[in-house]
Amino acid sequence: MRTFLPPVLLPGLLLRLLLRLWVGLPLCWLSPAQAGADAVTPAMAAQADRLLQSALEKNIAWDVVRSLTTEVGPRLAGTPAEARARRWAVARLRAMGLDNPREEPFQVPLWRRGAERAEILTPFPQPLVVTALGGSTATGPEGVRGTVVSFPSLDALRAAAPGSLAGKVVFIDEPMARSRDGSGYARAVGKRRAAAYLAAERGAVAALIRSVGTSSHRFAHAGQMRRVLEEGESGVPTAALAAPDADQLRRALGYGEPVQVSLLLTPRSLPPAASGNVVAEIVGREAPQEIVLVGAHLDSWDLGTGAVDDGAGVGIVLGALDVLLRELPRPPRRTIRVVLFGAEEVGLVGAWAYLQRHAASLPQHIIGTESDFGAGDIWRFDSRVGEAQLATIDAMAALLRPLGIERGNNAARGGPDMKYLREAGMPVVGLLQDGSDYFDLHHTPDDTLDKIAPGDLDQNVAAYAAFLYLAAESEAYFR
């Protein structure tokens, strides 16, 4: 099978090239406005307040999620379902009245799930609920079997000597902490990314991880493994166990006898397939070349219908744009561009494609953000802007305070698909949602529309509508 070189292999090289081009541009016409709170005029503040009210009273966000999750459902990157989602998005953006709705195609490595089955063979025969991690190799149709060796953390597995686990099945039994800011994920996801490779290096025949998630229900959480491989590196077949099944395996091991399991996984890695971003604008009235970017991602994992990840983000962003289109008496000064990214889940492939395609206009990307953390209310407004711009951001943040949103720090990440743009110097903000329950559903079959009630997204829509208007109407540059 041919080896596909994923775009994330290249960022170091290309980024340096892009940054060099950028530095060479005449930037004088982009010089910042006088920094300070007066970049938000009283008229702008009044308009922002009207947008908040309008968004809280009525918006289309939930209906967008309903439509996407019903009419498309699961939409794994590179599949016909993801292509249907792009067509759905272009039609929806056009119907809303946005300018230039279009697909921006790219190619993505395609991986498709097959059969998946795990069992404790001895001493207590019974099935376990598993799902293959994205990118996992297959076991072959006969499956594999081996004695389980449990590790309390990825670090503990890392400490095992190469070759020391010959013929074994690795089990990383590391739980994830629940928190409002989702900080438990950053730590827990390490085992999802690396388990297959560390297990292979130590001679294991397969790896199982406790799902990266906080659900207490019997759902295994899918998710992508690390795709950037060292020369000659390869991974063993690797699956996530539902939390109750990880508990069960832990209990079985607690009897002190050898625990033998079987694992069958038959996913396929296929040639690169078509994916794409969907892009549209509200073209600015005075500085149409200046772009305020707002994103969400259109693809989802294959097990659920992607309601909270990231149907909610799509709904929030489209809801906010609809409020702007309905309520603003004229377009804002700058262009607001929406990007519904493709192939986020499988490694930010759409984000990379966007950076490549829009390299020339990067300096005109004034500020950006993405909604990709479910349906919880926003509780904090972080930024990543130049020091001189903090007073302007503070003035914007003050206008969001009626929504229960506090001003946060200046170390925002801006959402996953802002990664490359942020690294290339684009200022970002982060409208941080309460993610306490997000990882109960994240990447599971249970990520379905019923988990979001009509109205749940309204506070988010209000905050996005106000922020996008203020950033696009403002004369401030945020660098």
The contact set with a second copy (CB under 8 A) reads 66, 70-74, 81, 120, 123-127, 129, 216-219, 243-244, 247-248, 251-252, 304-305, 444-446, 448-451
User: Least Å distance between CB 321 and a second copy?
Assistant: 24
Distance CA(385)–CA(369), nearest Å, equals: 12
Nearest residue (CB) to a second copy, 313 versus 445 = 445
User: Least Å distance between CB 217 and a second copy?
Assistant: 5
3-state SS, one letter per residue, for 295-350: EEECCCCCCCCCHHHHHHHHHHHHHHHHHHHHHCCCCCCEEEEEEEECCCCCCCHH
Nearest residue (CB) to a second copy, 72 versus 378 = 72
User: Least Å distance between CB 218 and a second copy?
Assistant: 5
Residue with tokens 């109960």: 440
Nearest residue (CB) to a second copy, 252 versus 296 = 252
Distance CA(166)–CA(204), nearest Å, equals: 5
User: Pick from 31, 27, 33, 28: which is nearest to 391 by CA?
Assistant: 33
Nearest residue (CB) to a second copy, 47 versus 305 = 305
Nearest residue (CB) to a second copy, 215 versus 389 = 215
Residues forming a β-bridge with 108: 273
Distance CA(244)–CA(211), nearest Å, equals: 10
Residue with tokens 């980024």: 15
Nearest residue (CB) to a second copy, 128 versus 339 = 128
User: Least Å distance between CB 88 and a second copy?
Assistant: 10
User: Least Å distance between CB 247 and a second copy?
Assistant: 6
Residues forming a β-bridge with 188: none
Nearest residue (CB) to a second copy, 177 versus 228 = 177
User: Least Å distance between CB 116 and a second copy?
Assistant: 13
- How many degrees, rounded to 5, is the angle at CA 114 between CA 109 and CA 120? 130
User: Least Å distance between CB 98 and a second copy?
Assistant: 24
Rg, the chain, Cα only: 23
165: amino acid identity, one letter: L
* Residue 133 DSSP symbol: P
Nearest residue (CB) to a second copy, 129 versus 160 = 129
User: Least Å distance between CB 219 and a second copy?
Assistant: 7
Distance CA(192)–CA(394), nearest Å, equals: 38
Q: Which distant-in-sequence residues (6+ apart) come within 8 Å of 122 by Cβ?
A: 257, 258, 259, 260
Nearest residue (CB) to a second copy, 356 versus 436 = 436
DSSP 431-466: EEE--TTHHHHTTSTT--GGGS-TTTTHHHHHHHHH
User: Least Å distance between CB 81 and a second copy?
Assistant: 7
3-state helix, strand, coil split of the chain in percent (to 5) is: 40, 25, 40
415: amino acid identity, one letter: G
Nearest residue (CB) to a second copy, 392 versus 444 = 444
User: Least Å distance between CB 280 and a second copy?
Assistant: 23
Distance CA(346)–CA(350), nearest Å, equals: 9
